[in-house]
Structure 1
């Protein structure tokens, strides 16, 4: 996944745990297996923290030290960081060209969003995925005529097709669980300043 995904995850964890420090953020990401599905390397969390402080999205809350352990910088989200967190969430939710698995970071922060927003975003995503799947066979014929020297590359697209079929099925099941009240979302529907 991208630098934007790392940024979203770091901002989101700071938002959940503030004030917090780098090691705690790393532990949380590891507990979510984000190193596997988001490709977040150990050093990228600390690089992201530095970048977020430099751009005014995080601020130092305090410095903590326990015994002879090294001191820890505690971070807190700024208003600019909170806005960036929601902008990144909404960018994924409203992506015109969704990619398989790009919803994973959003799922980490479901309680930050309103139920209605999740429902509408997932319905739009299902529509976009369905449009992709409906156009898939014709698109493949254009990209890979029978005399193509690169027919083996079709496997990449067939894998993507299967991933979208699975995601569409999951989205439909997920919406059933959301509508059944299985999860808690921001109560007021105002996602711009919802605290968890």
Structure 2
């Protein structure tokens, strides 16, 4: 799944009808380039691809005194379905870009649904951590392999931290923090 795809659909959902540069400007205001691989070209590519797939529809061109007209886009019903599908996938993901994109839009979903998905994400993080730690004894000593035990400890720590961070977010959601769709 592409985090950029989810980000574009999410911004379109918030700001529609809107045009590509406004989507780009919105993501730049969030500093999305610091926590995801979103680039201007990937935003415009996603807009084109999503329009070809029927997830967005072009709603005409708005004139501009500063250059060519701007194509206005809106989310279609298929786009809403795609947004929700990508949200569900990203909320359980252990990929930081995907999860980050989902967290940015988690308020678009019902609280109980987000909690359920984040519990699954937390379980996956902990399982990944446990399986990485279990691999360490199967490798020779630290100085006999290309630092494989060190890498496994690094990655297991990352997933342990992700599980701990998710616990905190779950606590905040369960206590009623954040405005959600319901």
Q: Name the TM-score, length of structure 1 as normaliser.
A: 0.83
- Equivalent residue for 1:165? 160
What SS does the corresponding residue of 1:103 show, helix, strand or coil?
helix
Q: Which runs of 5+ in 1 are unaligned?
A: 188-196
Stretch moving more, 113-122 or 67-76: 67-76
- Equivalent residue for 1:86? 84
1:66 counterpart = 2:68: no
**Partner of residue 152 from structure 1, selected from 144, 147, 152:** 147
Q: CA RMSD in A?
A: 2.0
Summarize the Cα distance change of 1:131–1:79 in structure 2 as closer, same or farther, 3 Å threshold.
same
Q: For 1:53-76, what per-residue CA distance to the aligned partner results, in whole angstroms no more than 9, with x for missing partners?
A: 111111111211133432100100
Separation in 2, partners of 1:8, 1:151? 37
What SS does the corresponding residue of 2:178 show, helix, strand or coil?
coil
C-alpha contact (below 8 Å) 2:142/2:148 kept by paired residues: no
- Equivalent residue for 1:194? none
Separation in 1, partners of 2:95, 2:51? 30
Separation in 2, partners of 1:22, 1:100? 25
What SS does the corresponding residue of 1:171 show, helix, strand or coil?
helix
- Structure holding more helix per residue: 2
Separation in 1, partners of 2:149, 2:39? 31
Summarize the Cα distance change of 1:82–1:186 in structure 2 as closer, same or farther, 3 Å threshold.
same
Separation in 2, partners of 1:60, 1:99? 31
- Equivalent residue for 2:7? 9
| CA apart distance, 1:19 | 0.4
C-alpha contact (below 8 Å) 2:107/2:181 kept by paired residues: yes
- Equivalent residue for 2:178? 183
| CA apart distance, 1:87 | 0.9
Summarize the Cα distance change of 1:183–1:101 in structure 2 as closer, same or farther, 3 Å threshold.
same
C-alpha contact (below 8 Å) 1:100/1:167 kept by paired residues: no
| CA apart distance, 1:52 | 1.1
1:54 counterpart = 2:52: yes
After the TM superposition, which residues 82-121 of structure 1 pair with which residues of structure 2 at under 5 Å, given as runs?
82-95=80-93, 98-100=94-96, 102-121=98-117
- Equivalent residue for 1:32? 30
What SS does the corresponding residue of 2:123 show, helix, strand or coil?
helix
